[in-house]
Amino acid sequence: MSQTEAVLEVEDLVVQFPGRHGTLRALDKVSFSIAPGEILGVVGESGAGKSMTGLAVQQLLEPPGEIAGGKVLLAGRRIDTLREDEIAHIRGKEIGAIFQDPLTSLNPLFTVGQQLIETIQRHLPLSRKAARTRAIELLAEVGIPAPDQRVDDHPHKFSGGMRQRVVIALALAARPKLIIADEPTTALDVSIQAQITGLLRRLCREHGAAVMLVTHDMGVIAETADRVAVMYAGRLIEIGPVAEVLADPQHPYTHGLMASIPGAGPRSERLHQIDGAMPRLSAIPQGCAFNPRCAHAGPRCRVEVPALVSAKTALAACHLHDKGVTL
């Protein structure tokens, strides 16, 4: 993918947290890109660095967290070096955000219409009347029934799924180039999850926005994403087309994740489990961070960090592919 095609490009992104007892590296040279109209699913265990990546792109890291290396480019423009007032103008206008709990994204004291109108007028040169009209159009677009009436309701009058639809409308209010959706369906029932992921996929295509979908749910990835990026201990370890990665994973960690998912049919054997746990930031092992949990680990894995290399239709950070080993 060329730089002119990508909406978002992340190149060798490093995020660190300096402390009294040393510096903790939360993201270690993470690189990926997202094209217009594409949904990239970012998946991994808790602590893998998924949400941290989204926060770093938006420059929303909590101090003392800092971007210590690499680049973030939005539509070819570098944004990781912008001042706070400059990046604040981009948030909401060029980068929309959808978070896990819609209650934390909506102010309970104001109607959804007031919140939409404020967001629209902050980023677009529209009168209040025109902004209200657009707010109603957005509510209709995300599937809120009777939007001309519901626009004057407060968030508590909406169900969880409907509140998340309002949050999606807020994210789309200024027609952003990029949407970062961080666990947008976790707090919802399964049937509502499917509606929200379907809505997100449709709106992404229609608006031509790039979407970074952060989740731990492989089912959501399978249903929604075009490509999937698998993270482990702050590193990107596999990335490729979602169907191929899920059907034929090329990294031992991804392979273990897929083997641990129950199928729909009868099961005669116990589910596979990956022994051990994700390492703490203060105790990431030398070499490949997954090597203490990997059945294929050899001496090289314990001393040398593997680079992302071609592995069938994906890229995988595993020394096995240097030897032509098939998982």
Secondary structure of 208-250 in the HEC alphabet?
Answer: CCEEEEECCCHHHHHHHCCEEEEEECCEEEEEEEHHHHHHCCC
CA dist., res. 92 & res. 262, Å (int): 39
221 φ, ψ to 5°?
-60, -50
- Structure token digits, residue 255: 């392979």
Residue 73, domain member (yes or no): no
Residue 24, domain member (yes or no): no
Total of domains in the chain: 1
What global pTM score does this model have?
A: 0.92
- Structure token digits, residue 290: 């997954």
What pLDDT, on a 0 to 100 scale, did the predictor assign at position 2?
Answer: 44
295 CB neighbour count, 10 Å cutoff: 9
pLDDT in tens, 40-87: 999 998 999 999 999 999 999 999 999 999 999 999 999 999 999 999
> pLDDT tier at 258 (50, 70, 90 boundaries)?
confident
> Is residue 326 pLDDT above 60, yes or no?
no
Its domain, for residue 248, covers: 226-262+273-327
For 240-277, give one letter per residue: b (16+ CB within 10 A) or e: bebeebbebbbbbbbbbbeeeeeeeeeeeeeeeebeee
Residue 232, domain member (yes or no): yes
Identity at 306, one-letter amino acid code: P
pLDDT in tens, 179-216: 999 999 887 888 888 888 899 899 888 989 999 999 98
**What distance lies between CA 117 and its chain's CA centroid?**
26
201 φ, ψ to 5°?
-65, -45
CA dist., res. 14 & res. 21, Å (int): 19
In DSSP notation, 149-163 reads: HHTTS-GGGS-HHHH
Residue 119, domain member (yes or no): no
DSSP state of 187: T
pLDDT in tens, 141-165: 999 999 999 999 999 999 999 999 9
User: For the chain, how big is the Rg over CA atoms in Å?
Assistant: 21
What pLDDT, on a 0 to 100 scale, did the predictor assign at position 264?
Answer: 58
Residue 114, domain member (yes or no): no
Contact 200, 168 (CB under 8 A): yes
- Burial class of residue 215, CB neighbours in 10 A (0-12, 13-18, 19+): buried
CB neighbours of 169 closer than 8 A, spacing ≥ 6? 116, 135, 138, 139, 141, 142, 144
Contact 179, 94 (CB under 8 A): no
> Is residue 324 pLDDT above 70, yes or no?
no
> pLDDT tier at 257 (50, 70, 90 boundaries)?
confident
Q: What is the 3-state secondary structure (H, E, C) of 166-219?
A: HHHHHHHCCCCCEEEEECCCCCCCHHHHHHHHHHHHHHHHHHCCEEEEECCCHH
Residue 140, domain member (yes or no): no
pLDDT in tens, 285-316: 999 999 999 999 999 999 999 999 999 999 99
Residue 127, domain member (yes or no): no
Residue 296, domain member (yes or no): yes
DSSP state of 3: T
